[in-house]
């Protein structure tokens, strides 16, 4: 079967985010960018399925600037087969990304679209579910285990009360959570090999969908800073402080 | 204006997050209706009808709603939205799973995890794990939002709305429930608890987590949480995880034991009223947000604290 893995280029998760002084957004200049960590997990899962023989081809797609090509190359070095970059310098919202992905799904006819449950930049947690609705495909979100069983996917989901397993019939959407797997580091030979793998260059206009933003950013500000309190000497002092504060 | 709220529940009780979403809907302004979709969830509908300021409760009963799977909820809610200007859902795993499908079907860009409502089009939400706060204005005709529970107080239970039974549309569903592992606990629910005791990787094992964290939580009547590192290491189940991608909590008292305080963890608990950190590393980032920091070996300090309470 064929798998489509959408990936997003975001600020590296170790970078301390700085809000721009004019409050128009977050400072992206000279900041390390990486693949969204959840998307790395989805790439890894697709590669493991290929290694297990259940998947024949993995297509990686990204909607983003020219540099998102590097993100696609990372996925190719991990073991994906080819890439599609839908190049745009505009910010595309989850709804717009889902519309573009739906068109790519129509062209590529994958059996599974597997992607991160959220991107760590906007924390929206929407794209997979939106794609599912547009395609009328079933979804297994926040996956900690994915099993392929004939024409069905059995997805174990991390939900508020614990774990829930759902069965999905036919082509499906899976969004992945942190504990699905631990992504590999690409080896140097694989990084070299990935340079020869094809990346198809596209533009949003190629897909004829409305991706105009629906939200306008009024401002982006720093969160209220929480002041550090005091260090206490010992447990007895801690208990007396908590009693004074009315916390216990 | 009319707002529909998707109730989050387990067929026997309404979640606290739903009552908080009602408060957010009142801040948005308009008639507030609550949809309870479940199987044999009559008591939940009755509970929802008591929430302050609710106009009516729509009750859909059917086996396909038992687990509130996204595909069934989408088929139910999309036609209902003809009569509403906004859809609000708590940002629980149910809300996160369901609402984007409805938004996409209605061609609306959802606004996730709101913490404040400025006006009928303008919402405030955290981005980058709460390291930046974004105010956005929506140009969509209908507004679809999920609500972060810690940002709103729960609506009181002094109302008496009418309950209207609605019929379920026929829908050919491609997803079905197979099984679940639900952690049964007498403890308060993590996101609603007045106190939370969380353990981190420094505990070293599931046994130590149980031996040290659980008795302290018992003494405090607290819910138990964990850092991602502790969950990944198997010391605690996934639904204990507090942080950017886990649960967001804001209790009166948060006790972080052996948690270094990665930004992803801080994102889930820094709005707590009083934060206590116990960690042997004097430089741990958790101390930068803690009201009371105890630099100590947790293996001796935690039992001592439990005994002292």
Among B92, B113, B263, the residue with its CB nearest the CB of A160 is B92
Q: Give the model's pLDDT for residue A178.
A: 92
Q: What is the DSSP letter of B50?
A: T
Please answer yes or no on whether A162 and B220 come within 8 Å at the CB atom: no
Q: Which residue of B has its CA nearest to A17?
A: B131
| E strand or H helix that includes residue B97 | helix B93-105
pLDDT band at A17 (very low <50, low <70, confident <90, very high): very high
User: Does the pLDDT value for residue B183 go beyond 90?
Assistant: no
Count of other CB atoms within 10 angstroms of residue A14: 9
Other residues' Cβ atoms within 10 Å of the Cβ of residue B1: 13
In this complex, the residue of B92, B177, B275 whose CB is nearest that of residue A166 is: B177
**Arithmetic mean of pLDDT, B109-122:** 98
Beta strand ranges found along chain A (DSSP E): 2-6, 9-11, 33-35, 57-64, 82-87, 112-116, 139-149, 152-159, 162-169, 172-176, 199-202, 215-221, 230-232
Q: Is A40 in CB contact (< 8 Å) with chain B?
A: no
CB B204 within 8 A of CB A83: no
**B295 in contact with A, Cβ within 8 Å:** yes
Contact between chains at A166 and B182 (C-beta distance less than 8 A):
no
A124-133, A224-233, B39-48, B254-263: range with lowest mean pLDDT:
A224-233
Q: What is the per-residue pLDDT across A195-247, written as a single tens digit (0 to 9) for each?
A: 999 999 999 999 999 999 999 999 999 998 888 899 999 999 999 999 999 98
B300 → chain A, closest CA residue? A235
Contact B246, B230 (CB under 8 A): no
| pLDDT tens digits along A126-143 | 999 999 999 999 999 999
pTM for the model stands at 0.95
Percent of chain B whose predicted confidence (pLDDT) is above 90: 94
Instruction: Dump pLDDT digits (tens) for B199-232.
Output: 999 999 999 999 999 999 999 999 999 999 999 9
Burial B170-192 (b: 16+ CB within 10 A, else e): eeeebbbbeeeeeeeeeebbbbb
The pLDDT assigned to B219 comes to 95
Q: What is the mean pLDDT of residues A22-41?
A: 96
Residue A177 · residue A64 · CB < 8 Å = no
Residue A37 pLDDT exceeds 80: yes
Under a CB-based contact definition with an 8 Å cutoff, are residues B49 and B57 in contact? yes
**Beta pairing, strands A33-35 & A9-11:** antiparallel
Q: Which two tokens stand for residue A94?
A: 């989850």
Does the pLDDT value for residue B31 go beyond 80? Answer: yes
């Amino acid at each position: 079967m064929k798998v489509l893995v959408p990936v997003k280029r975001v600020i590296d998760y170790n970078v301390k985010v700085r809000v721009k002084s004019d409050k128009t957004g977050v400072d992206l200049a000279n900041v390390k960018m990486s693949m969204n960590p959840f998307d790395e997990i989805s790439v890894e899962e697709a590669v493991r399925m290929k290694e297990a023989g259940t998947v024949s081809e993995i297509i990686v797609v990204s909607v983003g600037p020219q540099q998102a090509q590097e993100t696609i190359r990372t996925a190719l070095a991990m073991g994906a087969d080819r890439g599609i970059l839908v190049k745009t310098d505009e910010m595309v919202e989850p709804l717009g990304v889902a519309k573009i992905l739906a068109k790519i799904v129509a062209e590529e006819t994958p059996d599974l679209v597997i992607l991160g449950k959220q991107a760590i930049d906007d924390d929206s947690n929407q794209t997979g579910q939106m794609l599912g609705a547009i395609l009328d495909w079933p979804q297994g979100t926040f996956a900690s285990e994915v099993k392929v069983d004939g024409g069905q996917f059995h997805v174990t989901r991390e939900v508020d009360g614990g774990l829930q397993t759902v069965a999905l019939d036919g082509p499906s959407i899976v969004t992945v959570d942190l504990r699905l797997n631990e992504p590999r580091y690409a080896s140097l030979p694989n990084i070299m090999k990935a340079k020869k793998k094809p990346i198809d260059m596209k533009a949003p206009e190629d897909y004829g969908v409305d991706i105009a933003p629906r939200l306008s950013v009024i401002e982006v500000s720093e969160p209220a800073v929480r002041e550090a309190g005091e260090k206490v000497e010992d447990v007895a002092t801690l208990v007396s402080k908590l009693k004074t504060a009315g916390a216990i | 204006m009319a707002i529909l709220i998707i109730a989050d529940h387990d067929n026997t009780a309404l979640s606290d997050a739903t009552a908080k979403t009602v408060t957010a809907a009142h801040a948005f302004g308009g008639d507030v209706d609550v949809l309870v979709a479940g199987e044999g969830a009559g008591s939940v509908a009755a509970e929802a009808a008591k929430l302050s300021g609710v106009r009516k409760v729509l009750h859909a009963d059917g086996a396909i709603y038992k687990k509130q799977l996204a595909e069934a909820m989408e088929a139910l809610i999309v036609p209902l939205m003809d009569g509403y200007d906004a859809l609000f859902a708590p940002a629980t795993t149910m809300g996160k799973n369901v609402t984007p499908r409805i938004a996409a079907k209605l061609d609306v860009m959802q606004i996730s995890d709101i913490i404040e409502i400025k006006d009928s089009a303008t919402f405030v939400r955290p981005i980058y794990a709460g390291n930046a706060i974004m105010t956005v204005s929506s140009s969509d005709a209908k507004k679809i939002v999920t609500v972060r529970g810690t940002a709103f107080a729960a609506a009181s239970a002094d109302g008496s709305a009418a309950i209207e039974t609605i019929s379920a549309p026929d829908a050919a569903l491609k997803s079905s429930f197979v099984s679940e592992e639900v952690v049964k606990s007498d403890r308060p629910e993590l996101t609603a608890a007045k106190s939370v005791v969380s353990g981190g990787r420094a505990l070293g094992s599931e046994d130590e987590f149980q031996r040290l964290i659980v008795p302290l939580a018992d003494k405090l009547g607290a819910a138990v949480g964990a850092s991602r590192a502790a969950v990944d290491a198997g010391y605690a189940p996934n639904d204990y995880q507090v942080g950017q991608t886990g649960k967001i909590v804001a209790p009166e008292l948060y006790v972080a034991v052996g948690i270094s305080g990665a930004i992803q963890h801080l994102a889930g608990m820094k709005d707590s009223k009083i934060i206590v950190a116990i960690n042997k590393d004097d430089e741990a980032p958790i101390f930068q947000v803690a009201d009371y920091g105890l630099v100590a070996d947790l293996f001796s300090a935690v039992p001592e604290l439990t005994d002292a309470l």
